[in-house]
Amino acid sequence: MSAKSNKKLRYAIVGCGMISGAHLNALKHIEEAEVVGLCDLIISKAHDRAEEFGVAKEACYKDCKKMFKELKPDVVCVCTPNGQHMPVSVAASKAGCHVLVEKPMAMSPLECKKMIAAAKAAKKKLAIGFQHRFTGKSQYMRKMFDEGVFGDIKFARVQALRRRGIPNWGVFGQKHLQGGGPMIDIGVHALEMCHYAMGAPKPVAAVGMTSTYIGDKKDKVDIVSSWPNWDYKTYTVEDLAIGHVRMETGAVLHIEASFAAHIAPKNEMDYQLMGTKGGCKYGDCEVYTDQNGHMVTIKPDFLNPYGSGGFDGPNSFFRAKLQDFTDHLLNGTPTIIAAENGLMVQQMLSAIYQSAEKGGKEVLIK
């Protein structure tokens, strides 16, 4: 939790879709923050959020640059579809705002580098919405790594799998607006958590495979699922993606991500680490190592609930993420969601997709 500050940071939100609600819910629990503006190309969405969260209707905009100029917010949260992350972030930096952009950072590593350059030129901060780093389990696993419990990481297995979970809202199925499907949308969460837990080593190469076999077709029979009736006519992303990433340290990371896969009826968001001294499984919050001549499993009896409360409330991981960035800006405390971390994750995602397009040939990451 943060140290108290007398100053309030003035936040503005660009993109008033579903994820903006998590940001607005979080900000109402942060004493050092206030929301001064909302922006969406569909102005009715901004008006709906304004009414829901007590923001003045006249503080709603369709043009983010006009909002930056007139309201002069301190911080901008970019909650748009992925294709707009870079231009909105760059515009916010140039307008003199700090930026917190939702995951994934952008559509490509080149876009990420443009965002970083714009923030540095403006002498402003840029952070990426990796809220899962703030859960009690994530903090526990990173501490085990920092204390040398795992030794040298040799292998990581990452999973972000849905049995039948193709989003039936938004533009998640349109590659030109999102950059990809499950790998870039949900795989990014498990990937960034795992990458953080293994010390954020530099990726150097990747191979990948993608496949589409359900999302772009209308089922011959209706399959009962929690998210039916997705727009299969505009579906241009993968159902399943597989990737292998080689790190500078010699570690190899394997990742599986799916919107639709014939697996056991339990969605997975998990990772495993295997090191020279120990390993872990995130989902079970277990650490595996050797002690006193025996193989042992270590499991904490209690985890800090702050950052583990889902999307809403004072303990939500969105609150933890936004509190972390607020503290970083006001007090100079370190942040674990710096833009450089977002760039490395984007490099891995993009290299996996590029390799898949090249038939599985290895792609070097520079």
The CATH number that applies at residue 23 is 3.40.50.720
Edge to edge, what strands does the sheet with 9-14 contain?
Answer: 60-61, 33-39, 9-14, 75-78, 98-102, 126-129
Q: Are residues 165 and 297 in the same domain?
A: yes
Do 350 and 108 contact (CB within 8 A), yes or no?
A: yes
Dihedral Cα 171, 320, 314, 159, nearest 10 deg? 50
Q: Is 312 a member of any domain?
A: no
pLDDT digits (tens, 9 = 90+) for 188-215: 999 999 999 999 999 999 999 999 999 9
Total domains in the fold of the chain: 2
The verdict on residue 337 lying in a domain is: no
pLDDT value of position 226: 86
- pLDDT for 112 equals 98
Residues 296 and 360 in one domain: yes
**Residue 158 phi/psi, 5° resolution?**
-120, 135
User: What's the pLDDT score for residue 221?
Assistant: 63
Residue 277 sits in a domain whose CATH number is: 3.30.360.10
Structural domain boundaries, residue 28: 9-129
Which stretches of the chain drop beneath a pLDDT of 50?
1-2
pLDDT tens per residue across span 228-256: 999 999 999 999 999 999 999 999 999 99
205 and 251 both lie in a single domain: yes
Q: pLDDT at position 220, please?
A: 63
* Domain end among 129, 155, 186: 129
- pLDDT score recorded for residue 297: 98
d(CA 22, CA 305): 18
Checking DSSP bridges between strand 9-14 and strand 98-102, what pairing results, if any? unpaired
